[in-house]
Amino acid sequence: MPLRDLPTESKAAAALLRTDEITHRRTIRRTGWQGVTLACLSVATVLSVLVPAPVGTGCYLWRATTQPVNGRGAALVLPVAMVLLVLADRLSADRFQLRRQIRWTGTTAIALVTVATWTGLVGQGRSGCTTSPAVIGTIACGTIATAVAAHWVMRSPAPPAPVDDEPGEDAEEPLNQSELRAVFVRLMTTVDNWPSLRLQLMPVVTGVLAVLLVASTVLSWRELLDPVALGPTAAEAGLARSQLWEIPSARTWAVAICLLAVATLLSSGLVRRTLAVGTGTAVVAGVLSHMVWLPPKLPNGVGYRPGLGAWTALGLGLLLVAAGMVGVRGLRVVAGAAVVGLLGGLLLPSATGAGYAPETAAGKPHRLLDLHGGQLVDRLGMRVSIGTPDALDSLAGTLDGSPGQWLLGRTGSESSTVFAYRDGVALPQVTLNHGATPPALWGVADNRMVMLAGGALGKPWAILAVPLDLAQADVSLSHKNQNGTYYVTPGVQILATGIGPALSHRNSDRSIVVSGSTTTWQIPANQLRPGMALKDFVIDPGIGAPGNEVSSGPDGTTAWRTSETGLAIIRPGGEPQQLTGIAPAGCVVSSDAASSSMTVDAFAVDVRGNLWLGGGAPTSVITPDGVLRKLPGGADGVESIEAKPDGSVVLGASPGGGGQVLVIPDAATAAAAYSAAPPPDRRCDRRTPVAGTTTYTASDVPAVPVVDGQPGAVGVSSQLALDAAGRLVRVRVPLAARAWAPDGQGGVWWTLLDQPGAETAVHLVDGRTTRVHDPQPVQGDQKAEFAGAAGDRLVTAITASVYNLYGPGSSVRRVQVKGTLRPDGLVQLLSGAVAMVLGERLVLVGPDGQSVTLLGGSTTGWPVSATGVPALQRTADGTWFAGPDGKLWGYDGSHLVRVDAPGRITVVAGPTQGVPQAADHLTVIGSALYFELGNDLIRLDAS
């Protein structure tokens, strides 16, 4: 019998055919570049979906919004469809006809989902959606995926054709039995060692888990348990969600996990198992380290808990570790990688673990809060918009000094929420309905937050104590009870009330200062209780204090505003000292604050008597030795300052429009170590006042009644004048007045358009008015913003170089003088001449229009009260007016001077002769001079 007919030969032939078929199937079952491309496109689609839309469009694809977004569901399904097509193709590799049908079906599904996404997102009419990176990226990925899948279908290989069993030719020589058995054994070994279906599925399983892990970043990582409704709709009330990639402290972990997951998807064999274990280990380490540092719940039930995204990511990570461990080959390598990854993840410092403590030099400020656009983002992604214009009014601690910090965040147009702020995490407490004016948060005492509610001009204000265990509280003061008290939520205590305006700030001596329109109250923190009487806490350290800011320290040092630009200080056992508002313009910051031209927007006295200044000038501090020292490290744009009882100083700044809260931890101690500013220039030095020729007697003027300048013509601005009985009053200038000025004798002038195209000057004297009509028509660019008067004469600036001269009597004439008039630089003299401040020069213009330069000409000249200086080197800065003797007088913030002739100046009086410093306004009535400092009125009479 021939050898080919033996059973061994038939088995060998069958083995050869089986080997050939397996080789052919391995070639067909390869995924190809199309499958890899679709996997990459699915990842790109997920990343496109995660890209946030432009602010204000509401076109978010990965989270719910208040306005439904059409097409969002299809956009989320698109990457899933791509992944499912790749997985289904792999699972049907052995069934060729089914594989082709699956590719056709998958291509059609991807195309339909892409069209649905485009129709929903672009066809809904939102301009922001059409230009959103999320929409553009999603549609682009879907379009490319459709093209790749279609190409995949057209290039699908045909199933293998059956092999014809053709009889072979008889071998010329019979096969050797031993050789035949060797070939048979080798072929059977190849077939038996082919990987089983279980081991073939493990790479697929790890790849699927990696894809799901990437997709899990869009699930909610954290849910906020909050009894207060934070969301704009009922569906979102009391619940806030954040995605894994959105949390700042977990963003690095999210990126690392996504990269490892993608690498796991694209690798194979032992490398895939190693990467799978590494990905799972990173997930476990990252998620657990953040869950450990989540703050505990507060007694009222408010707190954080890990949400669906955290638990999903943790479960997928554990599955990836288990999937990577399957198999004996390389077990030690995979196990070693797992141990190294786990130890590395757990040993890396968590971003929420330790507080932010930057390395700083002594006394140098560093950021306590970064407010991007007035918004704070805590370490777990909570966004808190600062609820008050002053950031320090939204930041408070405990009034007794115990640990604790609270934030007032704006959560609605007329509502705010108080957050407990711990370790960089904001925990919502109580929602306040406050109306248009947000409250100022002072602090917390006895589980109640104390605040100043209301305080707008002419509106009521109240000091309230709101329990922290309330869900909501009405502090709008918009309604009253039947007994006349303001309505607030039951449980809220009303400590004191008043009528606005009202502002407040905290002092380093644990007191609260409330500044009203005419009164200032300083209330110790331990006396904020029901039944308190505001009249027991009135503070008046000196001229200008009532109604102005006051700051004091525990050593008795008190600083206060004397006027809009003036700032004074008094130390224990000392005399009041004027600090600002008296230096000539252009004087740089020097070691003497009084000799520095400074704009102080905020100030505070710390626990050691240092006075901190902030505003237009560089932030600085005046130490008890009287030396001004600049703050090292810089802090520009400081708008508010608060000195705390622990010796630190907190600054509210807005450099470049971005809000910041800066803290100097050891400010009280470090202030003396700051370098002193350079000494003042000789022309700026105001430490030694110039002696005058006349001594004045100063007296406080009691409250002055306010009257209307014309019956029924109520105005806002007012001027001091005498009524028909000779009493001092404030005359309201009508709102229609274009310019006004006192006449120096108790009367007031103003101009108005009483008929179209014609101007009329009105003179009020002894309660009676006379009118002078301008016969010439009003010019197109006629403004008449500035005026000066003396007796029955009035001058108004009607254009850039044309002036109207009224009086005496009914005469009106126009003169033209070249030069740029400085605001309030127009003075009418009894002689008929007019003094004008044109640029940097003070000139005297006669009735015929001829001008003579009196002094000035230099932008940084000497003050007018300087002695032994040529007239051309003096500055024209200051207040100019017609003096009691009818001549031209000037006031430079500390001295009264008289211009006797061009270049001839006499110092009438200075601070040592009773002249108030840094006054806001000066009015002459007869022989008396009235200085307005804040809400105080000081009268000077020559001795």
Residues 588-642 pLDDT 10s: 999 999 999 988 999 999 999 999 999 877 899 999 999 999 998 778 788 899 9
- Residues 372-426 have pLDDT tens digits of 778 888 777 777 888 888 889 999 999 988 888 999 988 888 889 898 888 778 8
Average pLDDT over residues 577-593: 91
- Determine which of 153-162, 204-213, 507-516, 738-747 has the lowest per-residue pLDDT on average: 153-162
Kindly tell me if the per-residue pLDDT of 230 is higher than 60.
Answer: no
Question: Is residue 578 within 8 Å of 562, Cβ to Cβ?
Answer: yes
Range in 245-254, 494-503, 605-614, 881-890 with the lowest mean pLDDT: 245-254
pLDDT band at 166 (very low <50, low <70, confident <90, very high): very low
Buried b (16+ CB within 10 A) or exposed e, 784-806: bebbbbbbbbbbbbbbeeebbbb
Which one, of 451, 475, 455, lies nearest residue 463 by Cα?
451
Mean pLDDT across 844-852: 88
81: exposed, middle or buried (C-beta count within 10 Å: 0-12, 13-18, 19+)?
A: buried
Q: Average the pLDDT over 864-882 and give the result.
A: 89
Q: Give the pLDDT confidence score for residue 650 in this predicted structure.
A: 94
Of residues 345 and 271, more confidence is placed in: 271
Among 489, 449, 462, 485, residue whose Cα is nearest residue 473: 489
Q: Does residue 82 contact residue 42 with C-beta atoms inside 8 Å?
A: yes
Whether residue 167 is predicted with pLDDT greater than 70 in this model: the reply is no
pLDDT on residue 438: 92
CA separation for the pair 578, 226 (Å, rounded) = 52
pLDDT at 489 over 80: yes
So what's the pLDDT on residue 350? 45
What's the confidence (pLDDT) of residue 333? 58
Please tell me the distance from the alpha carbon of residue 734 to that of residue 907, in angstroms, as a whole number: 37
Pairing of strands 706-708, 728-732: parallel
Q: Return the pLDDT at 235.
A: 36
What CA–CA distance (Å, rounded) separates 809 from 771? 10
d(CA 519, CA 935): 9
d(CA 115, CA 81): 13
Q: Tell me, what's the pLDDT at 199?
A: 47
Mean pLDDT along residues 691-709: 91
Amino acid type, 244: L
Phi, psi angle pair for 516, to nearest 5°: -95, -165
pLDDT class for 853, splitting at 50, 70, 90? very high
Query: Which of these ranges, 559-563, 581-585, 855-859, has the smallest mean pLDDT?
Result: 855-859
CA 449, CA 431: separation in Å to the nearest integer?
Answer: 12
What's the confidence (pLDDT) of residue 124?
54
- The pLDDT assigned to 191 comes to 46
Q: How far apart are CA 29 and CA 608, in angstroms?
A: 82
Taking only the tens place, the pLDDT of each residue in 542-552 is: 888 888 899 99
**Distance separating alpha carbons of residues 10 and 801, to the nearest angstrom:** 121
Q: What is the pLDDT of residue 411?
A: 82
Percent of the chain scoring above 70 in pLDDT: 77
For residue 524, pLDDT over 50 is answered with: yes
Section 308-332 average pLDDT:
68
pLDDT-derived band at 931 (thresholds 50, 70, 90) equals very high
pLDDT of 132 above 70: no
Per-residue model confidence (pLDDT) at position 422: 80
**Tell me, what's the pLDDT at 859?**
75
Provide the 10 A C-beta neighbour count for residue 105.
13
pLDDT of residue 316: 76
DSSP string computed for 820-832: PEEEEEEEE-TTS
> Taking every pair of C-alpha atoms in the chain, what is the biggest distance, in angstroms?
154
pLDDT at 308 over 70: no
Stretch 275-286: mean pLDDT, rounded?
A: 81
Name the burial class of residue 170, with classes exposed (0-12), middle (13-18) and buried (19+) by CB atoms within 10 angstroms of its CB. exposed
Which of residues 341 and 830 earns the better pLDDT score? 830
3-state secondary structure at position 672: helix
Q: At what angle do helices 197-215 and 32-50 cross, to 10 degrees?
A: 20
State in Å, rounded, how far the first CA of the chain is from the last one. 154
Any idea which of 214-223, 354-363, 519-528 has the lowest mean pLDDT? 354-363
> Taking 60 as the threshold, does the pLDDT of residue 66 lie above it?
no
Over residues 305-316, mean pLDDT: 72
Banded model confidence at residue 238, pLDDT cuts 50, 70, 90: very low
CA distances to 7, 374, 395, 402, 724 from 406, rounded to whole Å, are 91, 16, 6, 13, 57
pLDDT of residue 64: 42
> 264 in helix, strand or coil?
helix
Tell me: pLDDT of 173 over 60. no
**What pLDDT score does 616 carry?**
78
Integer Cα distance of 477 and 431 in angstroms: 15
916 prior amide bond cis, ω within 30? no
Residue 499 parent element (H or E): strand 493-499
Average pLDDT, the chain: 80
Residue-wise pLDDT tens digits, 426-462? 888 888 999 889 999 999 998 899 999 998 888 999 9
Most confident of 191-200, 319-328, 774-783: 774-783
Quick one: residue 71, left, alpha or beta (phi over 0 = left, psi -120 to 50 = alpha)?
Answer: left
Judged on CB neighbours under 10 Å (0-12, 13-18, 19+), 573 is: exposed
Q: Rounded to an integer, what distance in angstroms lies between the CA atom of residue 862 and that of residue 897?
A: 14
Task: State which amino acid sits at residue 348.
Answer: L
